Amino acid sequence: MDSRDDIREFLTSRRAKITPEQAKLPAYGGNRRVAGLRREEVAMLAGVSVDYYTKLERGNFGSVSEGVLEALVRALHLDAAEREHLFHLANATATIRPGGHRGASHQVRQAVQRVVDGLADAPAFVRNNRRDLLASNALGRALYSPIYEGTPPGQPVNTLRFLFFDPNARAFFRDWNTAAADVVANLRTEVGRDPHDRLLQELIGDLLARSTEFSTLWASHDVRYHDSGFKCLHHPEFGDLDLTFETMDLPADPGQALIVYGSEPGSATEASLRLLASWAATAAVETPADAT
């Protein structure tokens, strides 16, 4: 993917989302030929010339200053995730890039695995920037059993591939549309952080080639954080589960994050998780005998 194309499409899509009223500009009456703001209106709001903004929107960032980027953030009403994405796109096109880049790690350290296993009462996972599930505890694996069971042998367990390629995903994720939109928008932030990650680019290329739903969401250029919130799942054995989740980056392991699920005290989901934990423990005891 060309960073200049990403810049052009991102700025164009954000410009299209802002109305003159939202920008506190007069509507000037008549029919507008573009959705949202015109280039000259963004340039005026950002305090730059129309020619310079046009150059920026074409992806020619060059040595654009931080002050100009912040002016674009204000003019386009970008939120925190969109601001970070814009700065990452600008950095990706810089003539001189800082050295010492640490690529994403795809191995889970034993110390991290011990932390995951120690969270016996909560489903927990370690995932990388490609949304491969690198590690889980017993309860996490039981919770995500449709994803694990639907993954062909020898392939990484990947939530994106399950979401867009596996027909069971629409039953497992009760609000599939929201889940899909959130993960794609969050994946945009990952690409901005590391646009040269070959494995990440290969995954996106495969998703674009095989899923029209992914392609449509990807073309929107929406970006957002997805660090905490709610998951509405339907487990094939234990029914509907309404879960909270928290995501914590692992600074010592670039690209990895720990995800922990929870439930409201006294809720039906809390009771279901206890049953799921018992089910997972029983399965763990029976598996060695079954395998012999």
Q: How far apart are CA 201 and CA 217, in angstroms?
A: 16
Average pLDDT in the chain: 87
CATH number of 110-291: 3.30.450.180
Q: How many Cα atoms are found within 13 Å in the side-chain-facing hemisphere of 214?
A: 20
pLDDT of residue 289: 43
pLDDT of residue 146: 96
pLDDT at 286 over 70: no
3-92 is classed in which CATH architecture? Orthogonal Bundle (1.10)
Residue range 168-191, pLDDT digits in tens? 999 999 999 999 999 999 999 888
pLDDT of residue 120: 86
Residue 113 banded pLDDT, cuts 50, 70, 90: very high
Every domain of the chain and the residues it spans: 3-92, 110-291
pTM: 0.77
Residue range 189-246, pLDDT digits in tens? 888 888 778 899 999 999 999 999 999 999 999 998 888 999 999 999 999 999 999 9
User: Considering the chain, what percentage of its residues have pLDDT values greater than 90?
Assistant: 61
pLDDT at 142 over 60: yes
Residue in the structure block whose two tokens are 């994106």: 160
